[in-house]
Amino acid sequence: MPEVVGVRQAQAQRTRSGVLAAAASIFVDQGVQAPIRDIAERAGVGVGTIYRNFPTRADLVTAVYRHQIDTCAALAPQLLAESASPFTALSRWVDAFVEFLVTKHGLGAALGSGDAGLENLHSLMLDTLVPACATLLDACDADDELSPGITAYTLMRAIGNLCITGTDYDQADAKHMVATLLTGCRRKE
Amino acid sequence: MPEVVGVRQAQAQRTRSGVLAAAASIFVDQGVQAPIRDIAERAGVGVGTIYRNFPTRADLVTAVYRHQIDTCAALAPQLLAESASPFTALSRWVDAFVEFLVTKHGLGAALGSGDAGLENLHSLMLDTLVPACATLLDACDADDELSPGITAYTLMRAIGNLCITGTDYDQADAKHMVATLLTGCRRKE
Amino acid sequence: MPEVVGVRQAQAQRTRSGVLAAAASIFVDQGVQAPIRDIAERAGVGVGTIYRNFPTRADLVTAVYRHQIDTCAALAPQLLAESASPFTALSRWVDAFVEFLVTKHGLGAALGSGDAGLENLHSLMLDTLVPACATLLDACDADDELSPGITAYTLMRAIGNLCITGTDYDQADAKHMVATLLTGCRRKE
Amino acid sequence: MPEVVGVRQAQAQRTRSGVLAAAASIFVDQGVQAPIRDIAERAGVGVGTIYRNFPTRADLVTAVYRHQIDTCAALAPQLLAESASPFTALSRWVDAFVEFLVTKHGLGAALGSGDAGLENLHSLMLDTLVPACATLLDACDADDELSPGITAYTLMRAIGNLCITGTDYDQADAKHMVATLLTGCRRKE
DNA sequence: TATGAATGAGCCTTCATTCAT
DNA sequence: CATGAATGAAGGCTCATTCAT
């Protein structure tokens, strides 16, 4: 019994990964509301397989982005520790967050849609990224570097919205506007 | 044939207006992606009539908002003339723009969606509001009140995105974030 | 304007009738749970047409049987008036009810299934046939011809069940068993 | 090979029993049309195991009820021997039969459905219960206590139908109606 | 021109059944 | 033998769009 994980589980895991990859790819092309069939087709599996692994669309969306979300959240304390000032840390973290969002076509729109079925993703953001961001904001606040009334959730939602790109408003524009927003968040001397 | 505009044309015009009013009303309730049938029903006409007058959904959306867009654009020179500073005028104009967006449920999302069919609305924005906004930005720039690199189109697109509301991110949040963005646009002394 | 009902309405009515006929036919073959697509195909219409005319399956089932249900209910007072005794009237009415049920394959099962979606049909029975049957039972009771504890609803439900035919239990058997049940309902001297 | 029945066979038998118990339990909750997967889950086995042991759903249904059916059949001669009259014996046996049916949610409907796949169960009834019931009917007939034309199969089928319960027609109603039917079977003096 | 019935493509979802391990 | 992941047929439902009247 040299293998703890059997061949079958390994295969299942590979299938799961394939679905995730296909979904990520399709999400880039069509957004998170793409038909399940399209994802199944690109993954080379039956629709039933997707439903087995991800009962709801939100489960799939969440799974696709979970790893990157966790990574992004983990960045917050690290940046806070190594940056010259809390605001610098916030700024860098926001850069990372934007980088995450901007490469996920349709995710920003999904987050902002208020779609009932996407509550899991919403919750994931709430539970993972919001606390991370809040830590940074608190540090800025303690340093008197932050305008009053800026909350982590609202700021992230705004950033998410700013990262909804389209014709004539690309990733560079989004980053510029996010930077501008952040400047606006800084308490003026 | 004593009348230049016949009774028929007058009736047709009335029908068109009725459709526009119904569409505006439905858009508030359900967003710009609402079923055509719902609009037809509220207008008291057949769906065919809507398709005759507005072949694509974008045509309808555009027509619904054209008047308000024109009004908003016309506000720019007026505010510029009566405000203490160009930046104040810009700020007030943005308030008006936000007010316009924020009361149109789903319009912000529509503008930001990159939806191919909504190019007409996009064009309308480009042709009407962007020049109006640009006038204000130019004036601010001449006054050295503006950070470099802010263009009218990008700024408006960003504002449009910030006005996409949803659960836990309401109109007040949107207005707050837009104001913050605007602060960020101001050249710091 | 010689026609009150336009050509279009007439056509629509014909379509509706065609759907009802097709549904009735399919119900005989497959029971009331038959796929909507099958009914649409036999009617030569699209599925949308069926959903337009009968939003829920229960609406369709109800419409298919409504006329006959009404006719059956109307029979009760008539039989009561012209029969020698109340129990004779009841007996004849039950014959008519059985005749109705027995030619509708699957209806009995549908009535007895407790299916939530079939509440409309259930209600139709309750509101139309149960009172008719109750009138006859009351008359029998007044004549001391009825065993105690027999209610219209339960009796009809039982009759409905007895009319669920199948292999080696045909319409003749159903009628025989219903007659036997009715005999059992008669107060023994 | 000192054991006639190996460990493997014993294990297989235990698996089979577990499936039967799970199926019986699920049938009570959801009826005999419950998803195979649900049964497998409750039994703690894979669906493949169920398909191996019971290739068709009918095989499973049959196996689940075989023991109780046999018990019920065996009751007939016993009741005939110890009852005051053949009709009393019949009446008691029917009580037992109803008790069997009434606690098996959906079984009555399954029996009455004419479902092609349930022929095995049908056969089991035919081969086991019908002869048992026929014995009682014959005894009643010999005693001149039975109306003419009542056959064991038809009577049992009718009883099975009467035991299909649902909203507003419960087990008590079913028992009442079966008792009434039986009264109707008794030759009137 | 206006109508709205009809159409059917398209998406969702469930579950019986197979088969490689 | 047992497993359960994978499959995909089947059916439900919605709406954009057309077209005969």
- pLDDT over 60 at D1, yes or no: no
- Is D112 within 8 Å of C161 when comparing Cβ atoms? yes
Question: How far is residue D152's CA from residue D181's CA, in Å, rounded to a whole number?
Answer: 13
DSSP H helical ranges for B83-170: 86-102, 107-112, 119-124, 130-142, 152-162
Between D78 and A188, residue with greater pLDDT? D78
The pLDDT-based confidence of A105 (bands split at 50, 70, 90) is low
* pLDDT of amino acid A169: 87
What's the mean pLDDT in D25-46? 90
* Cβ-based neighbours of B23, under 8 Å, separated by 6 or more: B39, B43, B60, B61, B63, B64
Tokens 């028929």, residue located:
B8
Window C22-61, strand F contacts by Cβ < 7 Å: 35-37, 47-48, 51-52, 55-57
The reported pLDDT for the residue numbered B115 is 62
**Cβ–Cβ gap D153/C176 under 8 Å:** no
How does pLDDT run across D115-130, given as a tens digit for each residue? 665 666 777 777 899 9
Q: Does D113 touch chain C (CB under 8 A)?
A: yes
Whose tokens are 């014909």? That residue is C14
Give the pLDDT confidence score for residue D146 in this predicted structure: 94
D2 pLDDT exceeds 70? no
* pLDDT at residue number B101: 84
Percent of chain C with pLDDT over 70: 88
Query: Is the Cβ of D177 closer than 8 Å to some Cβ of chain C?
Result: yes
Angle at C93 (CA atoms; ends C90, C98), nearest 5 degrees: 120
Q: By C-alpha distance, which of B138, B141, B143, B180 is closest to B158?
A: B180
CA dihedral C79, C80, C83, C86 (to 10 degrees): 130
The pLDDT mean for chain C works out to 87
pLDDT in tens, A65-90: 888 889 999 999 999 999 999 999 99
Which of D157, D163, D185, D188 is most worth mutating to test chain C (most C CB atoms within 10 A of its CB)? D157
DSSP class per residue in D114-172: T-GGGHHHHHHIIIIIHHHHHHHHHHHHHTT-B-TT--HHHHHHHHHHHT--BTTB-HH
Calculate how close chain D gets to C43, using CA atoms only, in Å: 26
Q: Do C168 and D157 touch (CB under 8 A)?
A: yes
Consecutive H or E run containing B144: none
**Most confident region among B163-167, D30-34, D58-62 by mean pLDDT:** D58-62
Residue C165's alpha-carbon distances to A91, B98, C109, D122, D160, in angstroms, are: 76, 69, 9, 14, 11
**pLDDT band at D66, cuts 50/70/90?**
confident
The pLDDT of residue A18 is: 94
Q: Which of C164, C173, C184 sits opposite D184 (nearest CB)?
A: C184
Measured between alpha carbons, how far is B184 from B162 in angstroms, rounded to an integer? 14
CA distance B158 to A185: 16
Q: How far is B70 from chain A (nearest CA, A)?
A: 22
On the question of pLDDT at D36 being above 70, the answer is yes
**pLDDT for position A178:** 97
Q: What is the pLDDT of residues A131-173, one digit of tens each?
A: 999 999 999 999 999 999 999 999 999 998 898 887 788 889 9
Q: At B51, which amino acid appears?
A: Y
Enter the tokens of residue A65. 């982005």
Does A62 contact chain B (CB < 8 Å)? no
Q: Do C180 and D150 touch (CB under 8 A)?
A: yes
Average pLDDT of every residue of chain A: 87
Q: Provide the pLDDT for residue D187.
A: 85
pLDDT in the model for residue C3: 45
CA distance C69 to chain D (A): 20
In chain A, the percentage of residues whose pLDDT exceeds 90 is 60
Q: Is the CB of B53 under 7 A from strand E?
A: yes
- C106 backbone dihedrals φ, ψ, rounded to 5°: 90, -15
pLDDT of residue C1: 39
Question: Using the beta-carbon criterion (under 8 Å), do B182 and A184 form an inter-chain contact?
Answer: yes
pLDDT at B182 over 60: yes
Place A3 in a pLDDT band, splitting at 50, 70 and 90: very low
C127 at interface of D, judged by CB pairs closer than 8 A: no
Handedness of CA B29, B35, B41, B45 (dihedral sign): positive
Q: Which residue is nearest to nucleotide F2 (CA to C1')?
A: D49
Residue D42 beta carbon within 7 A of nucleic strand F: no
Mean pLDDT, rounded, for B88-92? 96
| Selected residue with higher pLDDT from C62 and D118 | C62
Give the pLDDT score at C112.
59
* CB crowding B119-151: b at 16 or more within 10 Å, else e: ebbbebbeebbbebbbbbbebbbeeebbbeebe
Q: Which tens digits make up the pLDDT trace of B120-164?
A: 777 787 789 999 999 999 999 999 999 999 999 999 999 988 988
In a mutational test of the A interface, the residue from B101, B161, B186 whose CB has the highest number of chain A CBs within 10 Å is B161
Task: Render pLDDT for C5-38 as a digit per residue (tens, 0 to 9).
Answer: 578 788 899 999 999 999 999 988 888 889 999 9
H or E stretch including B32?
none
- What's the confidence (pLDDT) of residue B10? 82
- What pLDDT digit, counting tens, does each position of B23-68 carry? 999 988 888 889 999 999 999 999 999 999 999 888 898 898 888 8
C-alpha span between D149 and B128 (Å, rounded): 91
Q: How far is CA A98 from CA A117, A179, A182, B170, C189, in A?
A: 24, 10, 12, 22, 91
Would you say the pTM of this structure is higher than 0.85? no
Q: How far apart are CA B139 and CA B129, in angstroms?
A: 16
pLDDT digits (tens, 9 = 90+) for C99-137: 888 776 666 666 655 566 566 677 777 789 999 999 999
Lowest mean pLDDT among A98-107, C82-91, D144-153: A98-107
What is the percent of chain D where pLDDT is above 70? 87
Give the pLDDT of residue C129.
92
